[in-house]
């Protein structure tokens, strides 16, 4: 197993984290080492799935994400390589006894797709399933975690997604609470979670005993797109931008024709948006024999802090930095063992 760590400044809120698991990083054709696109983002037990390429169900099991976890699925667009694994994943959840409700979001064509699948192959579920056809805006909000959709420029209706966690308070100071007469116990927890309380007839507010909230953690997923202002705005100051990079610049004509980005374009957009870390995925199988290195090398001519995603790679995102863990079977990882990379001011 190879571990790469990119460290930034220490932050008391770093216990609140995201874990990104790349279930599929391939292009339009899966290969021996890369499945169709699918990404899981986990936060405090909630699993958010972005795109469901072919065979996502087995990758889901390999990644041990938990089929009965609180979950929502977000589809970027209705092209086969991004959505064909959805029926199998839903069926597997049903066969293994999922009971929690499931929400699925995507362009309005997704509703028609799910209806067709249900009517043609008799797909039913053991749990409540709701499918939403959406355009843009906030789709989900749970305890400081939110997901927003924005339009991107591909062939037909397509979305990107922004995932943000906002803490309501900063560091809790017990000595301040004690000085205000707040007894140790549940009231401290309510203040630390952003709730005002009343003690001896006096209102105690979270900012009376807590530091101001830290900046939010933000992960942005481009989906399939050409460089566009909506993506650039959504990615502004993001901790992580997960971007497609289908081609190198010598195939710019194909990128323009098919609605994709080159590695250089993705890296340039990340630099313009002041992104901290860029993770490239969904690159063409034409680069498979070189393990995607032409994509990575071209991106690094525009932006230093770039990672090339591989199937079942895990990325832990905290305010203090990110940690990248590749599976032991990853090709081109420089051998087994741990490798640490420190970059400051990224």
Give yes or no: 229 in active site. no
Q: What confidence tens digit (pLDDT) does each residue in 35-47 have?
A: 999 999 999 999 9
Least confident residue range of 254-268, 292-306, 307-321, 326-340? 326-340
343 pLDDT more than 60: no
Supply the pLDDT for residue 229. Answer: 98
Q: Which candidate in 81, 224, 239, 311 is catalytic?
A: 81
333 pLDDT more than 50: no
User: What domains sit in the chain, N to C, each tagged with a CATH number?
Assistant: 2-166+218-326 (3.60.15.10), 174-209 (no CATH)
Supply the pLDDT for residue 102. Answer: 97
pTM score, two decimals?
Answer: 0.86
Question: How far is Cα 184 from Cα 174, in angstroms, rounded to an integer?
Answer: 8
**Among 144, 129, 125, residue whose Cα is nearest residue 18:** 144
Helix axes 109-121, 86-95, angle to 10 degrees: 50
Cα torsion 255, 260, 262, 267 to 10°: value is: 150
Question: How far is Cα 34 from Cα 29, in angstroms, rounded to an integer?
Answer: 9
């Amino acid at each position: 197993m190879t571990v790469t760590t990119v460290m930034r400044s220490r932050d008391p809120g770093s216990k609140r984290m995201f874990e990104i698991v790349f279930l599929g990083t391939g292009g339009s054709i899966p290969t021996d080492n890369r499945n169709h696109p699918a990404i899981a983002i986990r936060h405090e037990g909630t699993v958010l799935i972005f795109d469901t390429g072919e065979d996502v169900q087995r990758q889901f099991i390999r990644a041990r994400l938990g089929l009965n976890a609180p979950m929502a699925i977000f589809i970027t667009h209705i092209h086969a390589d991004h959505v064909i694994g959805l029926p199998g994943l839903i069926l597997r959840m049903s066969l293994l006894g999922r009971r929690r409700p499931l929400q699925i979001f995507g362009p309005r064509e997704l509703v028609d797709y799910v209806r067709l699948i249900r009517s043609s192959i008799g797909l039913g579920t053991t749990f409540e399933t709701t499918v939403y056809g959406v355009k843009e805006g906030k789709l989900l909000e749970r305890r400081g975690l939110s997901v927003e959709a924005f339009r991107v420029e591909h062939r037909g209706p397509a979305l990107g997604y922004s995932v943000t966690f906002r803490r309501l308070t900063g560091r809790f100071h017990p000595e301040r609470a004690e000085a205000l007469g707040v007894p140790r116990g549940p009231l401290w927890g309510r203040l630390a979670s952003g709730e005002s309380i009343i003690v001896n007839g006096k209102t105690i507010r979270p900012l009376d005993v807590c530091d101001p909230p830290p900046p939010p953690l933000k992960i942005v997923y481009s989906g399939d797109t050409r460089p566009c202002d909506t993506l650039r705005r959504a990615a502004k100051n993001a901790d992580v931008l997960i971007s497609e990079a289908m081609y190198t610049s010598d195939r710019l004509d194909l990128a323009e024709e098919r609605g994709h980005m080159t590695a250089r374009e993705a890296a340039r957009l990340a630099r313009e948006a002041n992104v901290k870390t860029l993770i490239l995925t969904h690159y063409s199988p034409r680069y498979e024999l070189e393990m995607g290195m032409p994509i990575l090398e071209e991106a690094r001519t525009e932006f230093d802090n770039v990672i090339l995603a591989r199937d079942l790679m895990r990325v832990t995102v905290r305010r203090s930095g990110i940690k990248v863990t590749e599976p032991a079977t990853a090709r081109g990882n420089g051998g087994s063992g741990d490798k640490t990379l420190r970059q400051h001011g990224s």
